[in-house]
Structure 1
Amino acid sequence: MSDSLQRRNFIKAASASLLLSSFGTYGFEFFKDERPKKVGLIGTGWYGTSDVLRLIQVANVEVNALCDVDSIFLENTAKLVAQRQKNGQKPKLFTDYRKMLNAMDFDIVLIGTPDHWHALMCIAALKAGAHVYVQKPISVDVMEGEAMVAAARKYNKVVQVGTQRKSTPHLISVKEEIIDAGLLGTIGHVDMCCYYHMRANDNPPLQEVPDRLDYEMWTGPAPMRPYDGLPHRRWWRTFREYGNGITGDMCVHMLDTVRWMLQLGWPNRISSKGGIYVQKNGKSNISDTQTAVFEYDNFNCNWQHRTWGNAADPEYPWAFKIYGEKGVLKADVMKAEFIPANGDAPKKFEVLYERDTYPEDLNEKDIELHAAPATRRHMLNFLNAIQNNTRPIADIEEGHISSASCILANLSMDLNRPLVYDPKSKRILNDPEATQLLQRSYRGPWKHPYPDTI
């Protein structure tokens, strides 16, 4: 073993010890299983690939199979995985997730596809006997999420949702040192926002589908749009056919983090206003401007996004702010600060990077270096829950509450009225029209999952 490799392994071992001593209560542990866990990945795009590489870094796993409808993405990720995993083997490649699940046995399946595929793939992997790590938001409609929760419970499997803010070191410190310590006093209001200019709004012409892509399978249960270019990365997110816009993509992270910090469940009522007010010239059909109010017993959590103009607070363009009688807490993925109302000096928190411990991160295309430590800890918490048969920190039910709340905000915007969702009856109270919209139609031959028929 080379000196540099020995040094790197020593650093990683030291980091593991520090991790356990600092964050042991969150189930962050390094595992030394005698038998490596067999892993499959469905969706080899940006975040699917990032997730599987983070898992390889912290656990004894063998990534045996990859699935994607884009042959170039599939081959590129296969090469990366072969370079990174210990056995050096290239995973088997599939273009249909059903064939992959039928052909092989997995301990863990990671799902990094666009949102409109999450429910069917998650439920199929659970039925096949695997534990699942699924990206957020977990679904494109509320009943999909209910079915995913039902499947996880029926098959007694761990499902971790990729809301890794709960595993972000500086936000864990914020929760412990500010929220749990009671420094805010009585909390009376929460603001959440995103002002990133991330809404794709082009007008590309219709094109022939390239040989690299199975567009029929990519579309799956979603409505079929005429093909106008590769839908990867930002383009698919700009259409309600495949997701829930900026609210479903970005609010879900902030709302989930606030709910975790303040121990909040389902909102009592959800209302939202918005639409396409400024960016009217492109094909995008998601809102460019939207506000939403998630009402709780003693305060409201307010969301606002604009994909144009300047951020209200340039220091916190995607963030949450919790207002208490004794001060305000501002936080985002990079930093946080508690500003006491009595004039004392603010208490500041900074993001943790692990460049020295994981130098391979520095050469990885499109990696979010600030998020990598959080994702590694999220994977470790996932593995800890599997090992101990417990619920992970981002359990599917919690992911469902956060995802469904954002979906309900969009429904409220569409219907122009507040909505009260009852998770027991799985209905919008006193609103049959809204209740019908809790599940959308699937394109044949795909069939929508139901929680009572899993």
Structure 2
Amino acid sequence: MKNIYVNRRHFLKSASASLALSTLGPGGLDVIFQEKPYRVGLIGTGWYGKSDLFRLMQVAPVEVISLCDVDKNMLTEAAQLVSQRQKSGKSPRLYNDYRKMLAESELDIVLIGSPDHWHALQTIDALKAGTHVYVQKPISVDVMEGEAMLAAARKYNRVVQVGTQRKSTPHLIEAKKNIVDKSMLGKISHVEMCCYYHMRANGNPPVQPVPDFLDYEMWTGPAPLRPYDGLPHRRWWRTFMEYGNGIMGDMCIHMLDTVRWMIDLGWPKKISSTGGIYVQKEGKSNIADTQSAVFEYDDLNCVWTHRSWGTPADPEYPWAFKIYGEKGTLKASVMKYEFVPQGGGTPIQKDVIYEREKYPEDLKEKDIELHAAPATRLHMLDFLSAIKNGGRPVADIEEGHISTASCILANLSMQTQRPLVYDHQKRQIVNDREANGLLQRSYREPWIHPDPKNV
């Protein structure tokens, strides 16, 4: 029981412990810590895959059984780091093909940190193998993938937590509880969301031989096979629509998902979007550098804007959302929130919580987002609580699907140049045959697109 005690004591010292206890409900930490460690596998050992895994290892007893990646160098490095952090000191089994990993390893939990175009197949296969899944956002690259993932989660009765950890960000939980839920905003009738980060990779690297340590065929999987022009890891793959949904699918999903959680919104009634490549035309990138979208609800529009060039509209909130109510405005980002009451009164502000002193190992971790680490730890605890109790996590696959699909539909609206209305019960866009044909992307052989009616 020693490991359990250490984890429990260590977590209770953290600044976000009280939030976790209130979120987890009756039983508190007893629903998390258990004598038998969870057996864990990770698919995709890059930057955020490792980050998610390390946060899980910090808050609960786990044994990392297996790692999978198509990049041998990345896989070897991850294995070394994991063996150093594991209390057992054991090195995990290493795999190139996630299907073999799922077949050979009896796992309780699978974390998926692969690029977006792999999320659907890997999640569904992991669910079929009997595991619970933590999958990074966005959950899918097309709407029908998301429908199939949701159907699979329900069919196999497993917990799927999506990596939209803003819902577990301590200062945002506080903003929802103390500002929104107490009706300090009054009637809410407008929301603005934005991202002005210069995050769009836009180079012109030459086509080159695929290095021996990378299985580029397996990396590409069901996506179109682009000529190899350098390691796709981190920012490069995200600059191509072949593998994702641009800045809309990467950054808007976080803010839209958070806003929906904050003010209890479901599917938008109508979605429209315009944009394109207006400025950064010189490189290979084919994602929009400029885009706006409107997600329409009853008496409420949620408006998104991104630019990967120029200056932010509000330098203090370059990636953020602003909720406008008749009694005041709530501005919020990953770094802080600020409530400004209408007509005077005292503003309320709260900054992000760091846990450097409680988790000093964070300071030595390469490329860690220190501001996001407490949120991811809470997100993992919520995930484990749902596994233990048989309930739904705060970022359940259905919520992740709504947020992801809404962003995908915004891209389809931009592509078709008209508003779209999605009927999620019928899984089709209303009165638009052309747009319906875009709900499912073509898969490269031999991969087969999942069918939500038969997962």
| Percent of aligned positions that are identical | 70
Report the residue type matching 1:429 in the other structure. Answer: V
Q: Which runs of 4+ in 1 moved over 6 A?
A: 8-11
Q: Which runs of 5+ in 1 are unaligned?
A: none
SS in 2 for 1:453: coil
Shift of 1:26: 1.9
Q: Which residue of 2 aligns with 1:235?
A: 236
In structure 2, what is the equivalent of residue 452 of structure 1?
453
Shift of 1:317: 0.2
Partner SS for 1:264: coil
Residue equivalent to 2:379: 378
CA offsets 1:78-125 (integer angstroms, 9 cap, x no match):
111111111111100000000001111100000000000000000000
For 1:24, the equivalent position in structure 2 comes to 21
Q: CA deviation at 1:24?
A: 2.6
The amino acid that maps onto 2:189 is: G
For the Cα contact (< 8 Å) 1:271–1:418, is it kept in 2? yes
Quote the residue 2:183 is aligned against.
182
Residue in 1 aligned with 2:84? Answer: 83
Do the aligned residues in 2 keep the contact of 1:11 with 1:357 (CA within 8 Å)? no
Partner of 1:252: 253
Report the Cα offset of residue 13 of structure 1: 4.6
Are 1:443 and 2:444 counterparts? yes
Partner SS, residue 415 of structure 2: helix
Per the normalisation by structure 1, the TM-score is 0.97
CA apart distance, 1:14: 3.4
Partner of 1:369: 370
Structure 1 counterpart SS, 2:398: helix
Q: Which runs of 5+ in 2 are unaligned?
A: none
Contact 1:115–1:136 (CA under 8 A) maintained in structure 2: yes
User: What CA deviation, in whole Å up to 9, does each residue of 1:40-81 have, x standing for no partner?
Assistant: 000000000000000000011000000000001101111111
- Indicate the SS of the match to 1:267: coil
Which residue does 1:281 correspond to in 2? 282
Secondary structure of the corresponding residue to residue 229 of structure 1 = coil
Q: Which amino acid aligns with 1:396?
A: I
- Please tell me whether residue 12 in structure 1 is matched to residue 13 in structure 2: no
In structure 1, the residue matched to 2:411 is: 410
Distance 1:401 1:139, change over 3 A: same
Contact 2:159 2:392 in 1 (8 A): yes
Q: Counterparts of 1:132-143 in structure 2 under 5 Å?
A: 132-143=133-144
Aligned length, in residue pairs? 448
| Matched letter for residue 301 of structure 1 | C
The aligned residue for residue 422 of structure 1 is: 423
Q: Deviation of residue 10 (structure 1)?
A: 8.9
Which stretch of structure 1 is more off in the superposition, 27-36 or 236-245? Answer: 27-36
Q: Distance in 1 between matches of 2:44 and 2:304?
A: 30
- Aligned-partner SS, 2:402: helix
**2:216 aligned partner:** 215
Which residue is equivalent to 2:331? 330
Distance in 1, matches of 2:379 and 2:8, equals 22
Partner of 1:313: 314
Matching residue of 1:359: 360
Q: Distance in 1 between matches of 2:239 and 2:59?
A: 34
Tell me which residue corresponds to 1:59: 60
What per-residue deviation string (whole Å, max 9, x for no partner) do you get for residues 255-304 of structure 1?
00000000000000000000000000000000000000000011100000
Alpha-carbon contact 2:16-2:170 (below 8 Å) kept: no
Q: Report how far residue 415 of structure 1 moved.
A: 0.4
Structure 1 residues 203 and 92, CA gap change in structure 2 (3 angstroms):
same
